[in-house]
Amino acid sequence: MVNTERIINKTNVDNDDVREKIKKLIKKRNYNLRNLSRNINKNDAYLQQYLYRGTPKVLPEEYRLMLAKILDVNVNELIPNWLKDLSSKEEFIILRNIEKTVDNSNQISFSKELLSGLDFFNLENLYYFQNHKSNNHITTIVDVSIKEFIKPDIYLLNDKKNYFLATIEFSKISENKLSVKPYFNNFSPFQINANILNISGKILWKCSKIFKNE
């Protein structure tokens, strides 16, 4: 899965003032870094490394939004200046809504800056969909040309026309099977043979901020 910590150049990092603001918010609300890391679906040491070691250099937008929600603060307060300053002067690509590909009104403009360094062959294979059932407004970009398991990552799966996201990894139980963990906790994880798993696409990026070419 491609995210901001991998695709931006070395000059673009989360400023120290962003990290310091997050530290103060955590201290003020008496949060435990380990538990907070778990609450944004990362390993126990994730926020410790981000805040005090600078790794990752940039907090991916998905986790920035989740962290802002937990800390009860506007996400814009946790966004570095370079990310706020991305504007319509940038080059943009058009992504089509995966659910409504015919209607041109269901398209968005997406900054090439945020996808620079992404290894893909055809922009026509890139689609997006958004979660309209919550206030998070997470936008997910998927490459629908990928129909098979490539490596551990998040994929778009299809079960009788019901689409859902899931993390797919190599099974620790059997070398002939894959371990599938649906993205939402109300669906149970399961083991399955790779050749019968119905993959509709591979997730390239998840973000909370979309830059319109207006």
Return the domain boundaries, the chain: 4-84, 92-207
Query: E strand or H helix at 199, and its extent?
Result: strand 199-207
CA atoms of 142 and 124, how far apart (whole Å) = 11
Beta strands (DSSP E) in 14-148 are: 92-97, 107-111, 126-130, 139-143
pLDDT band at 95 (very low <50, low <70, confident <90, very high): low
| Pairwise pLDDT comparison (209 vs 106), residue with the higher score | 106
Q: Is the pLDDT reported for residue 139 higher than 60?
A: yes
Q: What percent of the chain has pLDDT over 90?
A: 22
Model pLDDT, residue 2 = 32
Residue 125's pLDDT band (cuts 50, 70, 90): confident
Q: Please check whether residue 74 is in contact with residue 19, taking contact to mean a CB–CB distance below 8 angstroms.
A: no
Is the pLDDT confidence value at 199 over 70?
A: yes
Tell me the CATH architecture of domain 4-84.
Answer: Orthogonal Bundle (1.10)
Rounded Cα distance between 197 and 116, Å, is 30
For residues 119-138, give the mean pLDDT: 65
88, pLDDT greater than 50: no
| pLDDT single digits (tens) 30-62 | 899 999 999 988 889 999 999 999 888 888 777
* pLDDT, tens digit, 9 for 90 and up, residues 140-198: 888 888 999 999 999 999 887 777 889 999 998 888 899 999 877 667 889 999 888 88
Weakest-pLDDT range from 63-72, 92-101, 149-158, 159-168: 92-101
**Which option is the CATH number for 92-207: 2.10.109.10, 3.40.50.2300, 3.90.1150.10, 3.30.1330.10?**
2.10.109.10
pLDDT at 149: 93
Residues 6+ apart with CB under 8 A from 66: 39, 40, 41, 136
In this structure, how many other beta carbons lie within 10 angstroms of the beta carbon of residue 21? 15
Pairwise CA distance, residues 186 & 30, whole Å: 29
- Tell me the average pLDDT across 63-74: 87
Strand pairing of 126-130 and 92-97? parallel
Lowest mean pLDDT among 58-72, 91-105, 129-143: 91-105
Question: Binning pLDDT at 50, 70 and 90, where does residue 209 land?
Answer: low
